[in-house]
Amino acid sequence: MKESSVAGKASTEVKAPAQGRAPDSSARTSLFERVPDSERLAWPDIASILSGVVSSLSKLMGGGIVAFYAGCQLGGVAMAVTFALSFALTYLVGKITFREGLPNNVVSRLYIFGTKGSAAGSLVWIFVLVGVLAVGTVQLGNAVLFALGWSEEWMRWALFIGISCVWVFMALFGTKVIARMNAVFVVALFCVMGYVVYLVAANGQMGDALTHGILIPGVDEAEGFAYGVNYAIMTSGLLALFAADFTRFARRERDLVPISLVGSLFAVVTYLFGALITYYGFERSAAYFSGLGYDAAGAAHAAITNPGVSLVLAAGGVGLAIICLSQMKVETSNSIGGANAVSNLFDSLFGVKLAWPVAVVVANAVGLAFILGGILDQVNAFMSFGSILTIGWCVLLVTDYYVVRGPMKIGSRGVPLDRVESVNWRGVTTLVLVSAVNGALYATGVVAVPFLTTAPMAFAIYVGLSWVFRRQVRERDAARRNEIVAGVGSACDVDVSVG
């Protein structure tokens, strides 16, 4: 069987790129069908989408977290980790989705999870991506509340619900409009952030802003670095998986290099701006949250995790308008990605293809549930466990595609969707074990940076299980190839207990 993702084309290039327009991520035909040649994009189009996604309030928050918890020197180390890991994972995972022409949730059916098993990936994606959606909603809402001076609890919840309704509306009707205005929003946001940096320099604070140590009360160096680097690592895994939904639209495989570079670079630049913006508005933001009843450490944490408040402090109503427009592009993409995961979840488990509006509403309802649970107050636990899930998923995908189905020759690449096994128990078991073990190690304080154990454990367990069951996997793979050649049979669903 020819292991090429695009029928009739070499796996490194396809014809007829669609210049100057972004893919319509909400199109129902694009979720379970390979990208046609007519929908392919030049790499700057895809890079602009990624640069717009990483220039968000949640990424600005990441810069503040890294700088204030780890200090500037160790924060620089965390940013270097972000860049290197983001580039490597975005390129490696992106190459897989490019060759297959399918989004990450569906590609994971072909490799690590199987058809019904891909529900595991959908649950991970719903938790992480919808969690980030909820974080962004709270950050934007808090900026609006601060700007307008609203303090009543009912106002807060009415605003959060209203913002979520906007995400639903934009995901249903405004995807193309947001994509076309993406570059404008990114430029406007960076202009405001540049203005804040100017204010820092004009106040003579630039030296301190770039050299300060840990600024959170009661946090030591090791704890602060672990806190910051965990967020940086989750960002890397999240960017790789999110970018994979768009790298599949690339024209040539070599385009993945500049796409990965631009996305990773903008992530680091946004982190740097976030560190400076948080420093600029820290004292007034912390005072604002102290007035809401937070203790000193809680007010400091709230000031860091709400960079929108600092932007409003610097640029007033103009700053608020720009961050609203900027968040619109990001959260619309997050809403669409979450809805895609909801769609795949129902399709993989029950064979039910949800109507697109229903999937969007469900994703945003889950986001409101996260907000109700106080996700910003639990952001440390969220980003640490999120890093376990995203890195585990990425490592599994890379291991299966490049190692197990590569030199080890256990299974084939480019399997048709209707021939995929029901459950790949090797992948599902590995993800569950890795998540449970590393989550427990982190929760009990045995491991401060779960990535250090998650990545090697995911690789070792999956390779080990694949070797143990190599005969069964190869036999099933040979039977599937024979069925394809003969043009008979159905999707390979036999004896998944050893898959």
CATH number for the domain that contains residue 343:
1.10.4160.10
DSSP, collapsed to helix, strand or coil, labels residue 13 as: strand
Burial category of 438 from C-beta neighbours within 10 Å (exposed 0-12, middle 13-18, buried 19 and up): buried
Q: Which amino acid is at 147?
A: A
- The tokens describing 102, both together, are 């399918």
Residue 80: partners with Cβ closer than 8 Å, 6 or more residues away: none
In a domain, 443, yes or no: no
Give, as one character, the DSSP assignment of residue 35: P
Residue in 32, 3, 15, 8 with CA at minimum distance from that of residue 99: 3
Structural domain of 173: 38-380
Return the structure tokens found at 43: 């790499």
Residue 67 in domain: yes
Is 80 part of any domain? yes
Tell me whether residue 145 is in a domain. yes
SS3 (DSSP) at 345: helix
CA distance linking residue 362 with residue 368, whole number of Å = 10
CA distance 257 to 235: 19
Residue 180: per-residue pLDDT: 63
Task: Give the number of residues written for the chain.
Answer: 499
| CA-to-CA separations, 115 to 33, 251, 283, 425, 434, in angstroms, rounded | 14, 27, 51, 11, 21
User: Could you tell me which residues come within 8 angstroms of residue 297 by beta carbon, excluding any fewer than 6 positions away?
Assistant: 216, 217, 218
Q: Please give the Cα distance from 388 to 430 (Å, whole number).
A: 12
Buried b (16+ CB within 10 A) or exposed e, 42-80: bbbbbbbbbbbbbbbbbbbbbbbbbbbbbbbebbbebbe
Question: Between the CA atoms of 396, 399, 402 and 404, what dihedral angle is there, to the nearest 10 degrees?
Answer: -110
By the 10 Å C-beta count (0-12 exposed, 13-18 middle, 19+ buried), 322 is classed as buried
DSSP helix/strand/coil, 250: strand
Residue 301 lies in a domain: yes
pLDDT of residue 176: 55
pLDDT of residue 454: 95
Confidence at residue 181, expressed as pLDDT on a 0 to 100 scale: 62
Comparing CA positions, the residue from 102, 42, 25, 96 lying closest to residue 252 is 42
Query: Model's pTM, two decimal places?
Result: 0.83
Give the CB-side neighbour count of residue 370, counting CA atoms within 13 A.
26
* Cβ–Cβ < 8 Å for 307, 278: yes
Structural domains in the chain (count): 1
Alpha carbon distance 221, 171 (integer Å): 42
Apex 480 CA angle, 479 and 481, nearest 5: 90
Task: Count CB-CB contacts under 10 A for residue 374.
Answer: 10
Q: CB neighbours of 104 closer than 8 A, spacing ≥ 6? A: 93, 97, 121, 125, 241, 244, 245, 397
Residue 410 is assigned to a structural domain of this protein: no
Q: Quickly tell me which residue has 């999870």 as its tokens.
A: 113
pLDDT of 203 reads 86
Domain annotation covers residue 219: yes
Q: How far apart are CA 265 and CA 283, in angstroms?
A: 29
Within-domain flag for 91: yes
Intervals of the chain under pLDDT 70: 1-31, 173-183, 487-499
Calpha distance 179→328 (Å, rounded) = 10
Contact 35/249 with Cβ under 8 angstroms?
yes
DSSP per residue, 229-273: HHHHHHHHHHHHHHHHHHHTTBSBGGGHHHHHHHHHHHHHHHHHH
**DSSP-assigned letters across all residues of 80-99:** HHHHHHHHHHHHHHHHHHHH
Q: Give the pair of three-digit tokens for residue 493.
A: 């669903």
- How many other CB atoms sit within 10 Å of the CB of residue 371? 21
